[in-house]
Amino acid sequence: MLARLRFILVLSVVLGLCVCFFIPNGYGKSRKSRQYFKWVQPDVDSSGRYIPGHWNYIGPPKPGIEWVPGHFDRKGEWVVGRWKPVGQKEDKQAVEIEEDFGE
């Protein structure tokens, strides 16, 4: 009798913890941080090259950053998608000219 009661108590605690942790966190659903990301299934392109599955951003534009989806680089290696800062880049070879015309 005591063993059965202990088993029921342990089982109810385990189920309660599962409900507390998994259901509020959206178990089985995409997380809120991924609401603007779409999963692209693995595929093979026309040349026979395997393209692994990857995330693609489909949400509104974000100021100052741009989503670069997964792609192959010049060496043929897969580059994982990432956020890339955008904006005016400082030209390292630019020369500042002072406008002093002898006046």
- Asked if the structure places residue 15 within a domain, the reply is yes
Kindly state whether residues 36 and 59 are assigned to the same domain: yes
Q: For residue 35, is pLDDT > 70?
A: yes
Kindly state whether residues 54 and 73 are assigned to the same domain: yes
Kindly state whether residues 73 and 35 are assigned to the same domain: yes
The DSSP annotation for 3-63 comes to HHHHHHHHHHHHHHHHHHHHTTTTTTS--GGGTTEEEEPPEE-TTS-EE--EEEE-S--BT
pLDDT averaged over every residue in the chain: 78
Strand-strand pairing, 50-51 and 54-57? unpaired
Confidence (pLDDT) at 12: 76
Confidence (pLDDT) at 26: 47
Which tens digit of pLDDT belongs to each residue from 44-78? 989 899 999 988 899 898 899 999 999 999 998 99
Confidence (pLDDT) at 75: 92
Confidence (pLDDT) at 79: 92
Residues of the domain holding 74: 31-86
The residues, any chain, with a CB within 8 Å of residue 36's CB and separated by 6 or more, are: 57, 58, 59, 60
The residues, any chain, with a CB within 8 Å of residue 62's CB and separated by 6 or more, are: 83
Confidence (pLDDT) at 7: 81
31 closest CA partner among 42, 22, 40: 22
Judge whether 81 and 67 are in contact, CB under 8 Å: yes
Q: Which residue has the higher pLDDT, 17 or 70?
A: 70
Confidence (pLDDT) at 4: 83
- Asked if the structure places residue 41 within a domain, the reply is yes
> What is the number of domains present in the chain?
2
